[in-house]
Amino acid sequence: MTQTNFLVLITDQHHADWLGCSGHPVVKTPNIDRLAQRGVRFSNFNVASPVCMPNRASLFTGRYPSVHGLRYNGCLLPQSANTFVDVLRQAGYATATIGKSHLQPFTARDATSFKDFEAGVIEEAWKPDAGDYGQEAPDRYDAAGRYTIRTPYYGFDHVDMVTAHGDRAGGHYQQWFKEQAPNWRELLDRANQLPHTYTCYQAYRTPIPEELYHTSYIRNQAADWLCRQADSEQPFFLFVSFPDPHHPFNPPGKYWDMYDPENFTVGTPYSAHTAPPPPLQYTREQFEQGRLPETPQIAFMAEDRHIREAMALSAGMITMIDDAIGGVLEALKQSGKYDDTVVLFTSDHGDYLGDSNLMLKGAWARPSINRVPFIWADPRAPRGLEDTALSSTLDIAPTILDRAGLRPYFGIQGRSLLPQLGGGHGREELLIEFNDSGYRMGFMNSPARVRTLLTDRWQLSVYHGQRWGELYDRHADPQQVNNVWDVPDYHPVRSELMERLMHQVIGTMDESPRANRQA
């Protein structure tokens, strides 16, 4: 019997509703839509954490950030951590990752948080880990040629690395880009951007042509790798990760002006909130004072015109990715492996993308950043269905292992989604963690620590050290503009949900490793 192959396609910072199959009225994603027609689209799929690095580590380990150790951006996934890719590799799979990994830091900038902590003779609670955690760092890719990553890299034997975003993407892609473009310095010089009329923050019209942009590079590298599997009897797992539609807003070539900003509608406005929570109030004050964020990664508020511009450019990046996915799927068909391959599509987190006039992502817990697309296209599963049950990025690892007929390791915290495909019940509640690495969105005394509990009807968010919280009725208030945390009639609901949240948090304790002897 032929073993099942797996192809995972993932975007970065992709609002769950921004797909044709999710009902978006403007964005064109025909290839992803066909995947949904071939499989099951999960419309209530949520992250373990709405931050790049922690959620990617949760995807690979099936464990919460507070357990696997990569709690916020700038940390790293310990090389002692097992991933489900390790399990596949041990079972004989060929394993490859092409594109963004982000399980280790990929900038050379020092962290700015926790600088007020004065360490003693010993600085940290853990002894230093002697592993090599600079394999995504920019200096590794400065030299000509191709930097060789030590493998297996979290289970992957083949690694084609793309780091960072936009026209500043690095890694193996950067080395290839410099070889392909003798004028690469001119193409990377911001002074040479192409003419345009956009004025939104971080809109930049790159002179890099489409065929040299990282989305095209990832498409071509993935297609080549798949073609090499045509004559192999070995099953494979391929992870294809696109850095877009993450900001900056700079789709290349025809994708820049593919969409008209006037065709987009800004969602729930700031003014709709009956009692804006402190992070939203703080960001509004910054906006009214004309202050831009200290770094490009911090959430900010924008006027409607600028949001529509960012939407149009984000749509261009999404359609470019969709076109690239079409090329990858065509290569899969040409390899003869299409009918034996499960294809997954998801994203690492969402984007406010105009929600309450905000852009990017941050400590304020919202469905726009917590909910992500997820499609499971399986030759042996139902087709063209929508699954509305609560599910999580944590569930990807155990679901793939279940489909491959392999037992997960002890300590995995996700659950297989395969029983749901057969009509089984989903989760009754779901925990989402958020840990910030800096003082942002008005959190002045310490970086934000947020725990959110989702049920079919309710969203409860608790902010560590704060006297306020959030409680929303997801049925009566789907836009979540009426916070009933302090409304007396809802105190019994709040108490019940707080107790359920407490049990969820207690349940995240790391059970691994098991005791090997009696005390």
Does 68 map to a domain?
Answer: yes
Total number of residues shown for the chain: 519
Does 19 map to a domain?
Answer: yes
Q: If you average pLDDT over every residue of the chain, what do you get?
A: 95
What's the number of domains the chain is made of? 1
Please report where in the chains the tokens 């960072």 appear, as a residue: 164
Residues 251, 320 contacting (CB under 8 angstroms): yes
Residues 85, 60 contacting (CB under 8 angstroms): yes
Does 342 map to a domain?
Answer: yes
Query: Alpha-carbon dihedral of residues 161, 165, 167, 168, nearest 10 degrees?
Result: -70
Does 411 map to a domain?
Answer: yes
Segments forming the whole domain that contains residue 88: 5-111+132-428
Residues 247, 191 contacting (CB under 8 angstroms): no
Angstrom distances, CA of residue 179 to CA of 144, 182, 257, 370, 371: 8, 7, 28, 39, 39
pLDDT at residue 116, as a whole number? 62
CA 206, CA 167: separation in Å to the nearest integer? Answer: 7
Angstrom distances, CA of residue 108 to CA of 102, 104, 138, 139, 244: 14, 12, 7, 8, 21
Q: Mean pLDDT across the stretch 18-22? A: 98
Residues 373, 16 contacting (CB under 8 angstroms): yes
CATH number for the domain including 222?
Answer: 3.40.720.10
pLDDT at residue 168, as a whole number? 92
Sequence-separated (6 or more) residues with CB below 8 Å from residue 358? 280, 283, 299, 300, 301, 302, 352, 364
First to last CA, the chain: 46
Please, which pLDDT band fits residue 114 given cuts at 50, 70 and 90? low
Sequence-separated (6 or more) residues with CB below 8 Å from residue 432? 46, 47, 48, 49, 50, 365, 370, 451, 452, 453, 454
Q: Return the sign of the alpha-carbon dihedral for residues 273, 277, 283, 286.
A: positive
Closest CA to 299 of 359, 258, 246, 210: 359
Q: Mean pLDDT across the stretch 155-171? A: 97
| Cβ burial 280-299 (10 Å sphere, 16+ → b, else e) | bebbbebbeeeeebeeebbb
Does 46 map to a domain?
Answer: yes
CA angle 19-305-200, nearest 5°? Answer: 85
Does 473 map to a domain?
Answer: no
pLDDT at residue 425, as a whole number? 83
Reply yes or no on whether the pLDDT at 115 is more than 80. Answer: no
Residues 102, 80 contacting (CB under 8 angstroms): no
Does 371 map to a domain?
Answer: yes
Reply yes or no on whether the pLDDT at 424 is more than 80. Answer: no
Please, which pLDDT band fits residue 272 given cuts at 50, 70 and 90? very high
Does 424 map to a domain?
Answer: yes
pLDDT at residue 117, as a whole number? 65
Residues 430, 116 contacting (CB under 8 angstroms): no
Q: Model's pTM, two decimal places?
A: 0.97
CA 12, CA 120: separation in Å to the nearest integer? Answer: 39
